[in-house]
Structure 1
């Protein structure tokens, strides 16, 4: 993993780690101890980032951005603690699932749409989506308003609808989030990465109840992919909330083998199963054929060979960044897997697989067809810029054995 993605992972883990504790009162630590622990974690992460900066592996702009992210996360934590009565009830597991999925998805999605705000080029700075006047970070309401404006101009922009829905979710405007995901569904169809966020928004609009349309959407995912983990989790919650303990247990037991790499999640599901079976008064047996096997290491895998058209070689430098990534051919615009190289590495063969997924339901194996893209970025940023060089191949089946060959032979106007 490159330094860039290590930093992304660290920042997302810190953000999720700081957001989840204020919402869940299940830990034995008192609020004061928890806040002190969060401050200590943030300080430790900041020291790690400063060490990377001192070693020359991290530029000043990225360091400052990371510092702001940590400060904002701590500020949110303190604000949440002040608003929550001591000893108040914990939140529902549905809200936990929403937060764990939402924070990484929104952060990664905005990065891929906007790039690094500190590195926006002069043309983009004239009308940046991620910044307000004076170059300051936009608030969520400002971001939503700007996305709404963009989507009025580009109503068929699937990526915009996806990000607007996620932004509304973070703002707790669940009804509007559901409408955004419904619009996205009209553009890309029945993809798990669309149906599940839509179901989540509808459930949160109903106070965490996975019922009605939300439950119908979850069932639709399971019809096409009976082992989809997020869908199994939500379906189990829906059945449990409806008092159907047996069906809840059946779905959670189908989910359990897929959680071998996550002991904490396993404990949570096992506790829910035990509680439901206690209410039933007996254990529930599940047909072995219905239980998903533990996923094979890596899951779906694609070998991709990338080369540069010799006619374009004089337009790049050896140190320019090369992004190689897969997107769903018909589905959400977020990358399913990404590898970062440099021009001096070309031609190069890389592997894209399920282990690179940014979200549980956004794996290569979750989509029947994908598009493989390779792009040379002069700025080093993930968002496309005028003058970047690119190449792509589609459609590609994630399960195919043959290597995919991509030639970078186009220039972005």
Structure 2
């Protein structure tokens, strides 16, 4: 690369010198001052190339003669970009757009904890940022084993929807929160606010309509705001139970002394390969063990994730001393492993381990 550059430069300088000096020599001969003109010619011939080279070394880019390095040619990775972005935010913690970019990038990389933290920074800078409210709530639910949307997450969603009634993600997640907590009429009403914003006949519109129908059915068969006896109303078909599993749970004798007053029993089924959120869960008083419970589609925590959506599930039971569904140290556990959803015989579980 260097040799080619120097050859091209030499040719260009030679042409420039010829165009400049030949007329000068001719004029010197005609005027009778050939010796002085010759001396001036030599000075220009040496000074021009040397001056040009010195000027290039001073203000040019000599390193460019070596070509572009492999490091410079290599595209920057997503992780490298995030490292630089975090370094920037360390120096400029009030850069709201930077925090939003970090949150959205973390979501893409399935880094829910980083996303929630970044959204939290945005909310500290702008408490009324509806997009950050929805993002925080969604990230928080992804971090939970049960994927529940409650507490601050639910409060933020309500606030976001109040500020921006056209927030599609906000309305969808708020409806899911209502559905998870058994407020089926509220869930259906919230999702109905979402419907006009969707393209009629689209896949999303059809999915929302299906979830509204499920919520209506669980709420009693009639849409919120309508009565089954109103004129022209068509009675809704009774909700079908769908898939179901009968589970028998007992506590191992060796752990009976660890059972405390007020302990809560959770019996659940989750997909063999999928998210950790249960497809069906029942909450009972642990003091009533041994018990028999039937897990059904009606016990799903999210309308789109239920027993009938898979073929095989992991079935387990846990006694929670805190009453919380998320496992904690000291909880008592047991499971039956993976079973077929269409199984007709009871699934037996012995709670025989300490978490």
Using the size of structure 1 for normalisation, the TM-score is: 0.35
Structure number with larger C-alpha Rg: 2
Which structure has more RCO (C-alpha within 8 Å, separation ≥ 6)?
1
Using the size of structure 2 for normalisation, the TM-score is: 0.41
